[in-house]
Structure 1
Amino acid sequence: MSIIASLSEINKNPNGVFVAHEKLEREFPLHSHEKGQLSFVEGGIAYISIANKTYVVPARHFFWIPKGVAHKLRVGQQATVLHSFYFFDEQENEASFYRNLGIYPASELLIQMINYTERWSGKMVDPSAKNFEFLKAMKQILPEFEKLNLPILLPITEDERMNKIISFLTENMQDEITLKSLSSRFNVSERTMSRIFQDTLHMSFLQYLKSLRMVKAIELILKTNKSIGEIALCVGFQTLGAFSNNFHDFTKTRPLDMRKLKIKSDPTEESNLLNS
């Protein structure tokens, strides 16, 4: 049963936990629920859109969405498994962690706990069930991750002119692109181009281009068997060192380490790591 089809079931018992483990590649339209959502991404990459912001969730990371927050969810690879839990809300007794959107690297302990719950997929676990205390314990350890929050953000907009610029950047990110060359391409001054980025995306041209390149790099690392050197060239870096340093600044991890996360999710690809 899909998340959208399960919404009534998710909200039915306010004190229970709904468990869903889904292997999929699809987009879920704007929706919300009356429970906090913990979802662990395995084997691929997911995207969460809230208002005009889109967040990227790599493999072996989890995200928390507070109750009542309307969001879109897209999973971008067929091999991706989304392990989701819709938790009861305790209001005044809960830590601030549960009131904010967050994206975090999962610990081995949390991953093992998540894997153990696969037998309960598609079920509402209420407080009278024996396995409820296990799920409650899993929820209670989440605030320990609060300082590891890594909101990888790629803004979106409905501005037609900005979207044409974004399309150009997406299709040509392997090339050297400067504010001057981009402004010339769209027949505006550099000052005007800078203002377009600030007014529509609320970040500078260079900030957006870096984010776009890093998000594309994450996709290529997790969704293809290209070597890290090939990926660096694909996203506009001429040296592996510069790419690795920029990637680390953006994600707090190295490209090869993120590739290893993919291998952990799919051990059959271990031999490909040797060619990275």
Structure 2
Amino acid sequence: MPALKPLSFLEKVNQYPNSTYIYHTKIEENLLMHNHNKHQLTYVEGGAVYLNTKDNSYFLPARHFVWIPAGMEHVIELKTPISMIRNIYIPPRILNNKPFYGQMGIYPAPNLILEMILFTENWTGNIFGKEKDKYQYIKTLGNIIPEMNKNPMPVVLPTTSSKRLSPILNHIHLHIEQPLLLKNVATHFGFSSRSLSRLFRTTLDISFLQYVKLSRIIFSMEKLLQTEMSISEISYASGYNSLATFSNTFYNLVKVRPVEFRKSNREISK
């Protein structure tokens, strides 16, 4: 009798619809865009991480977790080495019907939530209802998250597979420290200013200026958490000629000043 083919990671997550599934790893799973039949709670220790969906790219800072609704296509992209990825997969049937669970979001990890996630570090694989204590623990964790996390991070960068726009977006990211004027970028790629502006609006539903602004702030968030650069150095590396303008723009989008963001979100090296 031929040996059974081992189940893939996604097959293990989906195998038992009513079980919770826990997976802590130091190695990135080599997954393409995918979905599963359970909600996903992910907390990443160390490193710069993006969550990509078909439409948007989300930066996941330290001391934040991401909630991914069941059925949503996504992929997690690691930009730097990480210490640990902690994944908890929760079947929708054991939670209530609050709108929170149906929306993707990145949220600060309060101490209680963080401690509850870390408490599961020695658990792995499926947890069934017969394991009452563990099963109820995960159910409780899932049910208190909406009560403690009302406002997701507002910095979301739209993405596209458009062959016309993708090279322009890549150009923006590669030259984020430089002046990025609509007229100059349009000319570089053979567009008029009006046609390139329209392409951004129709494809991404935001303006060229707003896309550049979001890209600069997300870039600065990475530098704030992953380097020892000063706030002033990060400001200029992100394309700002004025530290005050950078700080004010950062505050308007992230709701805290850059120095506060770095202080409250950086993990202490172990």
TM-score (norm 1): 0.86
- 1:239–1:180 Cα change, 3 Å: same
Contact 2:37 2:70 in 1 (8 A): yes
Aligned to 1:226: 229
Alignment of structure 1 residues 73-222 onto 2, 5 Å:
73-90=76-93, 93-120=96-123, 122-129=124-131, 130-222=133-225
Q: Once the two structures are superposed, what CA deviation does each residue of 1:222-247 show, in whole Å capped at 9, x if it has no partner?
A: 22222221111111112222212211
Are 2:244 and 1:259 aligned? Answer: no
Q: Once the two structures are superposed, what CA deviation does each residue of 1:79-106 show, in whole Å capped at 9, x if it has no partner?
A: 2422110002227842121111121111
- 1:75–1:145 Cα change, 3 Å: farther
Are 2:57 and 1:54 aligned? Answer: yes
Contact 2:96 2:143 in 1 (8 A): no
Contact 2:94 2:139 in 1 (8 A): no
Count of paired positions: 263
Cα separation, 1, equivalents of 2:178 and 2:106: 30
Q: Could you say what the CA RMSD is over the residues aligned between the two structures, in angstroms? A: 2.2
Are 2:7 and 1:38 aligned? Answer: no
Identity %: 34
Quick one: which amino acid aligns to residue 80 of structure 2? Answer: Q
- 1:188–1:69 Cα change, 3 Å: closer
Contact 1:35 1:89 in 2 (8 A): yes
Cα separation, 2, equivalents of 1:220 and 1:37: 27
Cα separation, 2, equivalents of 1:128 and 1:114: 21
Structure 1 SS opposite 2:223: helix
Quick one: which amino acid aligns to residue 243 of structure 1? Answer: F
User: Quick one: which of 5, 29, 32 aligns to 1:29?
Assistant: 32
Contact 1:26 1:75 in 2 (8 A): no
Following superposition, the deviation at residue 261 of structure 1 comes to 4.2
Structure 2 SS opposite 1:253: coil
Cα separation, 1, equivalents of 2:64 and 2:260: 13
Following superposition, the deviation at residue 262 of structure 1 comes to 5.0
Structure 2 SS opposite 1:192: helix
Q: Once the two structures are superposed, what CA deviation does each residue of 1:189-239 show, in whole Å capped at 9, x if it has no partner?
A: 221121121122221011000011111112222222222211111111122
Contact 1:57 1:103 in 2 (8 A): yes
Aligned to 1:274: none
Quick one: which amino acid aligns to residue 56 of structure 2? Answer: K
Comparing 197-206 with 153-162, greater Cα deviation is found at 153-162
Cα separation, 1, equivalents of 2:202 and 2:193: 14
Quick one: which amino acid aligns to residue 9 of structure 2? Answer: S
Following superposition, the deviation at residue 139 of structure 1 comes to 0.8
TM-score (norm 2): 0.88
Cα separation, 2, equivalents of 1:178 and 1:76: 27
Structure 2 SS opposite 1:195: helix
Cα separation, 2, equivalents of 1:133 and 1:92: 11
